[in-house]
Structure formats: C-alpha cells, structure tokens
Structure 1
Amino acid sequence: MTGAGLLIALVAWLPLALKRLPLSLPIVCIGIGAAVFLLPQVKLRPLPYLYPEITERFAEFVVIIALMGAGLKIDRPFGWHRWSITWRLLAITMPLGILAITGLGMAALGLPLAVALLLAASLAPTDPVLASDVQVGPPKTGDEDEVRFGLTSEAGLNDGAAFPFVHLAILLAIALPAGKPWLTEWLTYRVLWEIGGGIIGGWLVGRAFGWLTFHIPAETKLARTGDGLIALAATFVSYGVTEIFHVYGFLAVFVTALTFRSSHRDHEFQDEMHAITEQIERLAMMVLLILFGGALVSGLLTPISWMDGAVALVILLIVRPLTGWIGLLGWSGDQGEKLTLSFFGIRGVGSIYYLAYGINHMPVGDAAHLWAIVGLIVLFSILLHGLTVTPIMRSLDERRGVDPDAKGVAPPGLQGPAR
C-alpha cells in the first residue's frame, strides 16, 4: 500500500516537475522499476515471455484507455481534407515502415518471413501511450498545432491499421507450411470486415453514448452526473462489443472517442471525461513501465547481439524519419514541422501488445530473442524521444510565436458552456 500510494503521488506530481526538464515520465518509471527489481528482496522476474497472457492483456488495457483519451482531446472535426496529414502517415509512412523493417528482419537478423513481418507490424505503429508529450492538449485548450495533431491522430488510428499486418504474419506462419490459401481470408475478413466493422461499431457506440450523455430529453442525461467515468464505460463497451463481433476494437475505441466528442464538442463534461481517462492511463502506464524496467534488469536484453543493436538504431534513426519524410512530401508544412513529425515515431506499449498477441497466436522459434529486440527498440525510443521532446517541442512553439509556459489554458472563446 505504501508503494501504491507513492506511485499515485508520482502520477500527479512528476509531470509538473518534469515540464521544463529534458526528461520524460517514462524514463523515470523505467529507472524506478530497475531500482525496485534490483533489490534482493524482490524475487519476481517480470519477463514478458514468462507471463505471455498477462503481458498481452495488461498492454491491451493500457492501449484502449490511451486511445479513448487521445480521441476525446482532439478538437479538430473529422474530415478528409482537415485530416490530410493523418492519411499521409497512415497510407504511406506506415506501410513503407512495415516493408522496410520486414526486409531488415529477414536480411540482417535472419528471421523467417512471418516472424519478420510480425516484428515489423509490432514496430510500425506509433504509440498512443508514451506519446502524450507530443500530443494535443486537453479539450478546448487550443493546444493543437499541425505537429501535435498529426502525431495524436496517427497514434490513434494506426493501432487499428497495423492489426491486419499482425494477422497477415499469423496467417503466413500457419498457412505457408501447410500449403493452405491465405490471401482471400486476409483481404476479406482481416482487412475489409474487421476494419469496416471496427469503424461502424465504434461510430454506433459513440453515437449512443453521445445521445445518452448530452442529448437525451430528460433530467437523467449522463452529463448531469458530472462523473467522467462515463468515458471509461464507453471505452469498455466499444472495445467489448466490437471484439465480440471479431472486428478491430482498437480502431473502434478511437472512433467512439471521436464520435463521442463530436456529439457536443464544447461541453465542459468533455474535460471531465478526458481527465479521468488521462489519470487512469498514466497510472497504468507507470505500472507497466516499472515492470518493463524490472524486465530489463532481469535479463530481457540478454539475447541481444551487436547486429540487433544496429538494426534497432536503423529502425529509429533511419526507417521512421525517412518513411515519415516520404509520406509528407507535398504537404504544406514547413521543414521544421516535417522533421518533427518524421522524427517522433515513438514505439512503446502498442509494440509490446502486438508482439505478445502475435507470439500467443503463432509459432515463433525464439520468442525471447524477439522480445529482446522489441524491448531494446522500446528502450531506445523512450530514451531518445524522452530526452529530446521537451527542447524540440518548446523550440517549435517559440517559432510559432507561442509561449510554451502559457500552454494548456483555453483562450477566450474556447471555454465550454456552463452546465
């Protein structure tokens, strides 16, 4: 209980303490985890391949909470032209990244096609959990420049967009050795049905919760409760219902959040819902990263070779920046914005979930080695992006003429109406 209390205190206090420092909350969490699990009294070894089911489910929970929070805080209405930067990152950058990482896995690491594709699909999506420092601010704060919007919307949608490639890896691992057909099932079921169903299911749940919360013609409308836990209810209902129908729940949750937000965009209850999801997300993230720090000192990276380290650096320093730059060719942003969008391809909890899901559903010859590679890339990403995010984003704000120390307060005209 003492440890839990201290952890909750850190959840509330650390973001404020780290606001000006070139240091991120995830780095601190990993350091705490490493220190705790180095104590001789602590016997647990939180290695993900020793607890595959727990790893998958816990990472899954953290991601869906983060997706709801990301969707609720986006002020920009959904639209093809308004979201053009998102489509570029989804349709060009992510597939190119999957192709490049698959090739690296086969050529440099000697992985079979299916395993290399699983590695690529796990590392392709940017993370909605660890990217909070480069995402848009809370609802109605006006803290939504093109860079923050692009990274937030990309992280919200590419989790669902990467899932077909995880399933493709699973299908190839099972179908190729048996000589069974796989293309038709993948295109019709894993792509068309699961993506289409996720979008429709998420929209329906969002519409239902939006009506019950803001528009039901009665004194019992949910907004009158003032209880932000409604957002958690919408998250669970959206994810649970869509998974029952075997469609992509990650995609559904983000679409539910966007639809829920659009049902009454400026209502102050949006702030309360976002606040509760952010608090739960931050607490769950800290627990997961403390366990990740424990895994690092328990031998997670033992199988790593120099080639694995080189590939990890290539993925972070070359593949994502280069594919991001290609995806943004022709976009009207300035060079600084393009560089920032291309650089901040943060890998984290989403990669942990996808790898756990894939390993739990397909044969992988050396799961410990695959976990070591992903663990190293996640560690590098947390350190690289965590140490650079504060100075880069502050510099970006100053170039736009925005005082980074005055951010987070809604300008006049953006405050929500009174209840």
Structure 2
Amino acid sequence: MFEAPSIIFAAAGLAVFAAALLPKLLRNAPLSMPMVFLAAGMLAFTFIPALPDPDPLQYGEFTTHLTEICVIISLMGAGLALDRPVGRREWSTTWRMLGVAMPICIVALTLLGLGVLGLGLGSALLVAAALAPTDPVLASEVQVGEPADDEDETERGEDEIRFGLTSEAGLNDGLAFPFVYLAIAISLLGPSPSEWFVSWFATDVVWRIGMGVLLGWLAGKALGRLFFSARDSVRLSGHSEGFVALAATFLAYGVTEMLEGYGFIAVFVCAVTIRAAERTHGFHRVMHSYVEQLERLMTVVILVLLGGAIARGLLAGIGWAEILVALAFLLVVRPLAGWIGLARGKTGPRERIAIAFFGIRGIGSLYYLAYALSKGDFGAQAEELWAFIGLVVAMSIVLHGATTAPVMNRLDRLRERKAVRQTGDEGKAPKTPI
C-alpha cells in the first residue's frame, strides 16, 4: 500500500500542473478551475482512506490562517489589476454595491437564518456577514485581467462588469468585518445593544475601518516611491522582482493588524495606491503575475481540502431548509440586492444583471467563519454553521463556475459589436454599457 506522504506529494505535483493548464483549457467551457479542484478533493478523500480528515472544526486555527493568507494575497492582486483612478463617479458602481447591495444581503440573510434555519441572532448575523461579500479569490474569472502598461489601454479602462466585481470584491471583504465582530459580540454579551453598541461602533466600525484606509494609503504611498521614484540603486521596479508584491501585502496587513485596523482594507488600499503611483510601468504586471500564481496555488489547496471535508461529512446535517435558503440567497437575494443597488446607475441592463448575479462566495466566507468561531461563543451551532456555509460556497462554485464563461463571452461579443457599430473603428472601440 502507498503511504500518505507519497500520495500527497504526487497529488500536489498533479494539482500544480493542473492549476497551470486548466484556466486556458476551460476558458470557453461551462466549467471552472474551482469546480475541478472541488470535485478532485471530494474524489481523493472518498477513495483514498489514508488521507487525514480535513475537518475545519478540528483544524480551526490552520483553516483560519490558510484562508486568511489566500484572501490577502488575492486582495493585493485585485488592487494592482485596477487601471481606473479612484473617484466618486469613476467608482460609482462600487459604492452602490457596497452601500446598498451588501447591507441588503446581510439583513435578508440574517432574517432567513432566524426565521427558516432557526439560528440564534449571533449565528444568523455571522452567516450573513460571512456570505455577504463577493469573494476576491474565486471571483477571479469575472474580474479584470492583468494591469495595463500602455497609456492607450489605461485610458480605455476596464469594462464595467469586471471592474465592478473586482473593486467590490476588493473592498467588501474588509467592510463585512464589522458585522462579523458584531456577531461575535452578540454571541458573548447577548442581543441587548446596551451591552456592546458603543464599544462596537467606536472600535470595530470607526477605528478599524479608518486605520485600514489610512495605513493602507500610507503604505501604498511609501512603497510606490520605493518602487518607482527612489534612486536607481534601490528602485525596486528596475529589478523586476515580483515577490516584492508579497512583501507589500504582508507589510500592509501586519502593521494594520498590529494597530487594530482592518488588514483586508489596508492591503487593497495599498495595492490601489501603488497602482496610482505610476500607471504605465511594466513592473505592475510583474508583481500582479507573481501574486496571481501564488493565489492560484493556495486556492487549489483550499478547494481540495474543502472537497475533502465535504466527502468526509461536512454537509451531513444539511436538510431541505438549508438547501432552499442557499438557493434563495444565490438566485434571489444577491441578484435582487445588486439590481436595486445599481438602479439608475451608469450600467446598462445586461451589465447590471451580470454584476448582480456573479456575487461569488468562497474563501473569504470560510475565513470569516473560522475566525469568528475562534473568538466568539456559538455553542453547539458551530457544526451547523460550517455545514451551511460550506453548502453555499460549494453551490456558488458550481452555479457560477458553470455560467461564467458562456455569459461573459457572450457579453464581450455584444460589447465589441456595439462598440464597432458606434465608432466604425474596432481598434479604438470604447467600453460602452450593454
């Protein structure tokens, strides 16, 4: 019989090769890389008994830190990829999704958790806060590509669907954190606002968000100067070392967390600030490419382990109520909230539908749940929470993975045809609402 270490090494090698090949092979197929690796994990842990049980409850601390690292790396990649300068009008789609759609999702899912799933207030709010953000990791297939290093490309900018989903995913992970902390506070102190509101609002909302934005901006400014404006001997852009993006990620995140700010917000703001320091330098692509490859490898590991946990019984307690709530959230609540948030905005009807629908749930949700369970007191509902969030993430991977390529490819073709008809010049076609 083969021993577990040799099996793991062989499987890791195959997984790395697959991670390199699958994105290109599946570009036009109703199948995504996350779907493949989730299924691979389920098969591997079903038919290879020697593999250890990847129970997220048993390995809570490992799960927390593994998903945490994957998310912050993804946030750096998302920020570096955005070509559009930050502004009220330029990012209006983002502000609408953050200020309207996400709160609607949190309120609706909290009510569903209370009324249909029978969860306590703290547990229902935790589920809602964990599932409300669009995932920056698994949403990569509907996000912008690599950063532009040509002035004309930068001026044309990203199409609104990919920009909206990328910028939303970059910020809403951090902005959902106050609600996670609120769920933790309720689990420890009870539902009475008098017990937690002042401390929660002052610390978890005002201070942590403010420090995340401020320290992320300061780190981005300092690193931008080091990358692009320092003297030749220390200017990092001249060395084309992509791993400095990882250093920037950990630096911004670590310092912000030390000062009790939201590191997720700091990492994304840092990346956007670095991108703004010099918009046409090829070093952005070098850093983004390195981050993207590392993110893909970590995503493979997490999805295989999630598939293994499902195979070993993670969803054993799931019933029809949980399935119906999961479907309602993915097919009704999030699309409707996104449509309401984008109403009267600058998006066209097809863009609005696509942004509202492709609110992919994933690694960030797993991190929030693991983190909250380590800090709060959710009692015997921990297994139920893992089962439900695992179900929603798995359903999102399948649902959105099967529809991403066909829908986005069709929208791209429609956009190109409309732009060509409007300008008569395909090479200079603007990004128009569809």
Q: Which TM class, normalised by the smaller chain length?
A: over 0.9
Give the one of 401, 407, 415 matched to 1:386.
401
Residue 295 (structure 1) shift: 0.7
- 1:3 correspondence with 2:11: yes
Pairs within 5 Å for 1:340-379: 340-364=354-378, 365-379=380-394
* Matching residue of 1:397: 412
Alignment-mate amino acid for residue 159 of structure 2: D
The 8 Å contact of residues 232 and 238 in structure 2, kept in 1 or not, is answered as no
Give the one of 42, 53, 56 matched to 2:61.
53
Residue 43 (structure 1) shift: 3.6
The 8 Å contact of residues 187 and 376 in structure 2, kept in 1 or not, is answered as yes
Residue 347 (structure 1) shift: 0.4
Instruction: After superposing the two structures, state which structure 1 stretch, 212-221 or 233-242, moved more.
Output: 212-221
Residue 178 (structure 1) shift: 8.9
Residue 79 (structure 1) shift: 0.9
Alignment-mate amino acid for residue 146 of structure 2: P
- Give unpaired runs (5+ residues) of structure 2: 1-8, 419-426, 429-434
The 8 Å contact of residues 346 and 382 in structure 1, kept in 2 or not, is answered as yes
**Aligned residue pairs, count:** 405
Pairs within 5 Å for 1:148-163: 148-163=162-177
The 8 Å contact of residues 122 and 355 in structure 1, kept in 2 or not, is answered as yes
Residue 181 (structure 1) shift: 2.1
* Matching residue of 1:132: 140
The 8 Å contact of residues 125 and 179 in structure 2, kept in 1 or not, is answered as yes
* Matching residue of 1:406: none
* Matching residue of 1:416: none
The 8 Å contact of residues 36 and 42 in structure 1, kept in 2 or not, is answered as no
Q: 1:210-229, CA deviations, whole angstroms, 9 ceiling, x for partnerless residues? A: 11111012322111211111
Residue 402 (structure 1) shift: 6.4
Instruction: After superposing the two structures, state which structure 1 stretch, 132-141 or 277-286, moved more.
Output: 132-141
The 8 Å contact of residues 220 and 273 in structure 2, kept in 1 or not, is answered as yes
**Compared CA separation, residues 95 and 177, structure 1 to 2 (3 A):** closer
Give the one of 142, 147, 172 matched to 2:161.
147
* Matching residue of 2:91: 83
Residue 264 (structure 1) shift: 1.0
Residue 39 (structure 1) shift: 2.3
Whole-angstrom distance in 1 between the partners of 2:47 and 2:79: 39
* Matching residue of 1:417: none
- 1:37 correspondence with 2:51: no
Instruction: Report runs of 4+ in structure 1 exceeding 4 Å deviation.
Output: 177-180
**Compared CA separation, residues 339 and 271, structure 1 to 2 (3 A):** same
SS of structure 2 residue aligned to 1:346: coil
The 8 Å contact of residues 80 and 274 in structure 2, kept in 1 or not, is answered as yes
Q: 1:88-113, CA deviations, whole angstroms, 9 ceiling, x for partnerless residues? A: 00000000110000000000011111
Whole-angstrom distance in 1 between the partners of 2:339 and 2:391: 24
Whole-angstrom distance in 1 between the partners of 2:98 and 2:193: 32
**Compared CA separation, residues 360 and 402, structure 1 to 2 (3 A):** farther
Pairs within 5 Å for 1:198-237: 198-237=212-251
Alignment-mate amino acid for residue 386 of structure 1: G
Whole-angstrom distance in 2 between the partners of 1:22 and 1:305: 28
- 1:105 correspondence with 2:113: yes
Alignment-mate amino acid for residue 12 of structure 1: A
* Matching residue of 1:259: 273
Alignment-mate amino acid for residue 265 of structure 1: R
Whole-angstrom distance in 2 between the partners of 1:42 and 1:366: 29
The 8 Å contact of residues 121 and 191 in structure 2, kept in 1 or not, is answered as no
Residue 41 (structure 1) shift: 3.8
- Give unpaired runs (5+ residues) of structure 1: 404-410, 413-419
* Matching residue of 1:12: 20
Whole-angstrom distance in 2 between the partners of 1:98 and 1:271: 35
Alignment-mate amino acid for residue 197 of structure 1: M
Whole-angstrom distance in 1 between the partners of 2:227 and 2:391: 43
The 8 Å contact of residues 135 and 363 in structure 2, kept in 1 or not, is answered as yes
TM normalised by structure 1 equals 0.94
